[in-house]
Amino acid sequence: MLDIKFLRENPDIVKENIKNKFQDAKLPLVDEVIDLDAKKRECQKEADNLRAERNKLSKQIGALMGQGKKEEAEEVKKQVSASANRLAELEEQEKQLDEKILNIMMSIPNIIDPSVPIGKDDTENVEVTKYGEPIVPDFEIPYHTEIMERFDGIDLDAARKVAGNGFYYLQGDIARLHSAVISYARDFMINRGFTYCVPPFMIRSNVVTGVMSFAEMDAMMYKIDGEDLYLIGTSEHSMIGKFIDTIIPEENLPKTLTSYSPCFRKEKGAHGIEERGVYRIHQFEKQEMIVVCKPEESPMWFEKLWQNTVDLFRSLDVPVRTLECCSGDLADLKVKSFDVEAWSPRQKKYFEVGSCSNLGDAQARRLKIRVNGEKGKYFAHTLNNTVVAPPRMLIAFLENNLRADGSVAIPEVLRPYMGGMTELKPKHE
């Protein structure tokens, strides 16, 4: 969420930013919120004058009563009563204006970083760098669920009976591999200086609206019926919410956290054939990384965060690339974002396995996460990035480590989490 003062003083910059995000329908909101803000400030000014006048009259009443001028004091009391009624009206107007301004400000997108490429949607995202050699083997690679079935590692039919489409049972070696990847990712981030955390898996509505836009909320979040609680779509929601309404001493920054959680998502809309199986699902697990830092340090942390994901995937022998998200593909709160994509030898293309985002002070402003520094208080910057999110990550892992005989190689770094196993052997063709 933008600072109203910034919007008031830079309406053209805000409008140009809206155009760059291809959200022209929101352009009238800028002038509307400026008008509402002016009305609110007029209310505040009149209310402040009335309060000052009331204090002055109250002193007069005391003086008149002390002089025995009861009738004159009663007349002044009538003036105080009249001003009190008007003050109540103004305070109600101010409250209503505040609500309207807040709703509009939460709909106006954050100012994107100047380096972000301008584009309408994800088809115009820009490749940054490739890591590792993408290989297409000389044998056919089956669809990922077929690979898992060879190990008796997945049961989608039973899951549909129990919960419907978009759910799964993982079992045997595949389930163990799933847990091993999560555990390895946890220790990988701890070894890079991040503090491990397991957060609440449900959050209140004020945290939801603090960490994401209304559009994202509607598309992603599951609401708990009858309660002010939502299932989290990612642990970032809980982890940023952890700092709600806090003032952090500057010397205690940065906060670098890595968190585990299940994630629950509606995943609205139709998806392509390559999103069958366990690519796009309603429930999965994820290791996340979160940073709360000083504004001047957020660009540096952004670079570190996506590099962590690249390094982890490369340690598992999975080729990856980074894509910079264009302006139209950025969620409203984001300043800058990179996707990390893994190579799919079967599809002969890359697919998304993680997303790294710098949100500037947007979440901090909404949640009132402030820093107490030498020059006073200011809003922190927040960043988040996927460490790893199986079972999607398992697709990349299985395809890139599959051998011609149907076995799957276990990279050395993962073996301690797999009981020393060096490979997975299929139970049937």
Domain boundary among the residues 59, 80, 105 is at: 105
Domain boundary among the residues 105, 133, 164 is at: 105
Give yes or no: residues 99 and 127 share one domain. no
Percent of the chain with pLDDT over 90: 81
Give yes or no: residues 371 and 289 share one domain. yes
Residue 110 lies in a domain: no
Q: Within 13 Å and on the Cβ side, how many CA atoms surround 226?
A: 0
pLDDT of residue 273: 44
Give yes or no: residues 280 and 394 share one domain. yes
Q: How many domains does the structure of the chain reveal?
A: 2
Report the alpha-carbon distance of residue 23 to residue 120 in Å, rounded. 10
State the average pLDDT over residues 406-422: 97
Give yes or no: residues 137 and 286 share one domain. yes
User: Quick check: 307 pLDDT over 90?
Assistant: yes
**What are the tens digits of pLDDT across the range 58-87?**
677 677 676 777 777 666 677 767 677 888
CATH number at residue 33: 1.10.287.40
Give yes or no: residues 77 and 126 share one domain. no
**Residue 12, C-beta contacts closer than 8 angstroms, at least 6 positions apart:** none
Residue 429 lies in a domain: no
Give yes or no: residues 164 and 190 share one domain. yes
pLDDT of residue 348: 96
Domain boundary among the residues 75, 105, 135 is at: 105
Residue 115 lies in a domain: no
Report the SS3 class of residue 375: coil
pLDDT of residue 236: 94
Residue 164 lies in a domain: yes
Give yes or no: residues 406 and 287 share one domain. yes
CATH number at residue 168: 3.30.930.10
Give yes or no: residues 127 and 13 share one domain. no
Q: Which domain holds residue 383?
A: 122-424
User: Quick check: 269 pLDDT over 60?
Assistant: no
Report the alpha-carbon distance of residue 54 to residue 88 in Å, rounded. 13
**What are the tens digits of pLDDT across the range 151-181?**
999 999 999 999 988 899 999 999 999 999 9
Residue 117 lies in a domain: no
Is the separation of the CB atoms in 341 and 351 below 8 Å?
A: yes
pLDDT band at 270 (very low <50, low <70, confident <90, very high): very low
Q: What's the chain's Rg over C-alpha atoms?
A: 28
